[in-house]
Amino acid sequence: MYAVVETGGKQYKVAVGDKLKVEKIDSEAGTSIDFDRVLMIADGDHVTVGSPLVETSVTGTVLCHGKNKKIRVFKMKRRKNYRRTQGHRQLFTEIEITAIGDNKAIPKDTTQIKAAPAVVADPTGGDVLTTINGIGPVIEKKLHGLGITTFQQISELDQEAIDSINEQLSFKGRIEREEWVEQAKKLVS
């Protein structure tokens, strides 16, 4: 759901949760304001266009006030020795849209704990070997070329297999040094 509102002589397309910078509005930070000039509301396929305004309200919260970047206004008339330079910083008010009609913002739950990343399956049928520290995309392709595509296969490597892989791919002891077998065992369990 979104709406088109007019404020400060400009029109803005807004949705719940959007943050936008508008022309300066005289109100304190943290206060709630209502946009009385709502030109259009769209909810899926249902669109309501006002003539001139829609009877629904759009509510926002003032976050802060500030100044935009400085612009330079330069006027010149050639061969007349006329040059004028002037700078300007436009004042703005940053607003977060909290409600459009009856559609209100859902407060974010801050008590959620970020879950540990899951082991992702490779589209070729194996595991994503780059999950193991020390295995990048190039080494993963080389291991796939040898038929090693899962963590289970890496965890079951014995010393002869490790030596064979070191010779074929010239890893120079990398498997044991970076503990790929132990990492694979942890990922399997």
| Same domain, residue pair 13 and 89 | yes
Q: Could you tell me if 8 and 52 lie in one domain?
A: yes
Of 181 and 97, the structure prediction assigns the larger pLDDT to 97
Under DSSP, the state recorded for 41 is E
User: In the prediction, which pLDDT does 115 show?
Assistant: 41
Q: Is residue 33 part of a domain?
A: yes
Report if pTM > 0.75: no
Q: How far is CA 77 from CA 86, 89, 181, 187, in A?
A: 15, 25, 76, 73
82 and 135 share a domain?
Answer: no
Residue 49 has pLDDT above 50, yes or no: yes
Is residue 8 included in any domain, yes or no?
A: yes
Q: Are residues 65 and 23 part of one domain?
A: yes
Do residues 25 and 65 share a domain?
A: yes
| 123: in domain | no
User: So what's the pLDDT on residue 107?
Assistant: 56
Q: How are beta strands 103-104 and 32-35 bridged, if at all?
A: unpaired
In a domain, 120, yes or no: no
Q: Who has greater pLDDT, 137 or 47?
A: 47
Residue 186: the pLDDT is: 83
Q: Are 187 and 141 in contact (CB under 8 A)?
A: no
Domain boundaries, position 140: 129-188
- Asked whether residue 47 falls in the same domain as residue 92, the answer is yes
Instruction: List, in sequence order, every beta strand (DSSP E) within 80-164.
Output: 82-88, 91-100, 103-104
The domain tally of the chain equals: 2
Q: What is the DSSP letter of 176?
A: H
User: What's the mean pLDDT when you consider all of the chain?
Assistant: 84
**Structure confidence at residue 66 (pLDDT):** 94
Residues 148 and 182 in one domain: yes
Residue 116 placed within a domain: no
Say whether pLDDT at 46 is over 70: yes
Answer whether residue 97 is part of any domain.
yes
User: DSSP H helical segments within 47-112, as ranges?
Assistant: none
| pLDDT per residue as tens digits for the range 60-102 | 999 999 999 999 999 999 999 999 999 999 999 999 999 998 7
Same domain as 133, residue 100: no
Comparison of pLDDT for 72 and 53, the residue scoring more: 72
Compute the distance between CA of residue 17 and CA of residue 5 in angstroms, rounded to an integer: 15
Q: What are the tens digits of pLDDT across the range 102-145? A: 777 665 544 444 444 444 444 455 677 878 887 888 888 888 88
Give the pLDDT confidence score for residue 124 in this predicted structure.
Answer: 52
Task: Give me the amino acid identity at 92.
Answer: F
Domain membership of residue 170 (yes or no) is yes
* Whether the Cβ atoms of residue 183 and residue 153 lie closer than 8 Å to each other: no
Same domain membership, residue 84 and residue 29: yes
pLDDT at 3: 94
Greater confidence (156 vs 77) lies with: 77
Question: Same domain, yes or no, for 156 and 98?
Answer: no
Domain identity same for 77 and 154: no
